[in-house]
Amino acid sequence: MEFQHQIVSESSNLTYLTRRFTLDHDESKDLVQETILKALNNRSKFKPGTNIKGWLYIIMRNIFINNYRKAKRKNEIQDQSENMYYLNQADNYTFHRPDKAAEYNDVEASVKALSSKYREPFELHTEGYRYEEIAEKLDIPLGTVKNRIYHARKKLQEVLQY
């Protein structure tokens, strides 16, 4: 009960903090409501004695970012032109040119040269998997996934200095 009371008592502070994310009053209310709901559902992840306001702020920020990403994906443009004209245009940048193909081959070889410990999380990340999904798929802790991806990037940057 005390935990719920603490969270509800922070709702006015959360409403104030939503101004960093949105000026829309209704969106602000929704964000606060989602934050409180998520906090109550994840009560077990809160460590007593830590800053509840900071914990709630992080939850709210993550909800906002996830909602923003969903909205961005939703607004992607579909090529509805006859014969998919825009999709069939020549690709002038990517790896269809010889110099870019060589670059691609260097990058691919460097990634394959990584030990599987680093390569697997890195490849899953570049395929679009989220950190949580990678952790679940490889059955390793979330922090380990982030650490391995970070170190894989660093190793690749060292190897691929053009």
Q: What percent of the chain has pLDDT over 90?
A: 31
Total of domains in the chain: 2
Separation of alpha carbons 4 and 8, rounded Å: 6
Specify the amino acid at residue 68. Answer: Y
The residue with tokens 């190793």 is 155
State the sign of the Cα–Cα–Cα–Cα dihedral 20, 21, 25, 30.
Answer: negative
SS3 79: coil
Both 100 and 64 in one domain: the answer is: no
Confirm whether pTM is higher than 0.85: no
| pLDDT tens digits along 11-35 | 888 888 888 888 888 888 999 999 9
89 lies in some domain: no
Which of 43, 74, 105 is a domain's end point?
Answer: 74
The reported pLDDT for the residue numbered 128 is: 86
Q: Is residue 70 part of a domain?
A: yes
For the ranges 59-68, 88-97, 139-148, the one whose mean pLDDT is highest = 139-148
DSSP assignment string, 2-54? HHHHHHHHTHHHHHHHGGGT---HHHHHHHHHHHHHHHHHTGGGPPTTS-HHH
Compare 140 and 105 and report the one with higher pLDDT: 140
Judge whether 139 lies within some domain: yes
Q: 9 and 69 share a domain?
A: yes
pLDDT digits (tens, 9 = 90+) for 38-87: 998 988 888 888 888 888 999 999 999 888 888 777 666 655 666 555 55
CA–CA separation, 57 and 42 (whole Å): 14
Chain-wide mean pLDDT for the chain? Answer: 83
CATH number, residue 58: 1.10.1740.10
CATH number at residue 106: 1.10.10.10
64 inside domain: yes
The answer to whether residues 101 and 145 belong to one domain is yes
Do 9 and 62 sit in the same domain of this protein? yes
Structural domain including 155 reads 95-159
Residues 67 and 11 in one domain: yes
